[in-house]
Amino acid sequence: MTIGSERSAVPGEGGRYRRPLIEAAIKLTAEAGWAAVTMARLAEVVGVSRQTVYNEIGSKTALAEAMVSHELGRFLALVRDAFDRHPEDLVEAIYAAALGVLELAHDNALIRAIASATHGADTELLPLLTTRAGTLLTEAEALLTRRVRSYRPPLTADQAAVLGDLIVRLALSHIMQPSDTPARTADGIAWVAARVVGATSAPPLRLARA
């Protein structure tokens, strides 16, 4: 059976052990791979019985879905927070959002796997991630487009959507295959965005290249 072909009825929030179990599974996946994640191993790591793991999570497929949803939630929350912290400066908001996401992904194997799935790369979780990666693209692009338009830049709705798509795909590409530090990459993304929106005082690249 492939990941994503099975559904289990699992409470949306779960009990007190659901979040620790999900976080332990994410850590174990990063350290040893998806195949190393078992209900018995999770029970041992968190210090609960295997029955508690099944009660809180359900099947291994449901665990995978919960892990991916958890990380996508962190991804989108970072973007929202960045824009909330820079309500008057669109370019700085884009820089902060890109930097936050790139730093999150730097040592996060699961986020990198999700990014890879958006580009068709093979991963252990590919059957599930292929679907969820599409959700990430859709949700992230919609969020970026809404937030960009809230600054009332000189862009049409279609142009704002293109910018949102560009930012998301640039960030995901660099998550999958980094070519520089998170700070320099975010700097470049913000520099491109500044020129697209026609910022009158668009700054040069703020970080010197080696």
Query: How far apart, in whole angstroms, are the C-alpha atoms of residue 176 and residue 188?
Result: 17
pLDDT at 210 over 70: no
The mean pLDDT of the chain is 81
Q: Please give the model's pTM, rounded to 2 decimal places.
A: 0.75
pLDDT at 185 over 70: yes
Task: Quickly state the pLDDT bin for 60 (edges 50, 70, 90).
Answer: confident
pLDDT of amino acid 8:
35
Counting residues of the chain whose pLDDT is more than 90, the rounded percentage is: 46
* Residue 203 token pair: 């700054």
pLDDT in tens, 123-135: 555 555 555 656 7
pLDDT of amino acid 59:
87
Least reliable range by pLDDT among 15-19, 115-119, 193-197:
115-119
pLDDT at 158 over 60: yes
Rama region for 28: left / alpha / beta (φ>0; ψ in -120 to 50; rest): alpha
Counting residues of the chain whose pLDDT is more than 70, the rounded percentage is: 76
Query: How far apart, in whole angstroms, are the C-alpha atoms of residue 86 and residue 97?
Result: 10
Residue 8 contacts residue 59 (beta carbons within 8 Å)? yes
CATH 1.25.40 applies to domain 18-58? no
For the segment 10-19, the average pLDDT, to the nearest whole number, is 70
pLDDT at 103 over 50: yes
pLDDT of amino acid 125:
59
Query: How far apart, in whole angstroms, are the C-alpha atoms of residue 13 and residue 80?
Result: 22
pLDDT of amino acid 3:
34
Domain boundaries, the chain: 18-58, 67-196
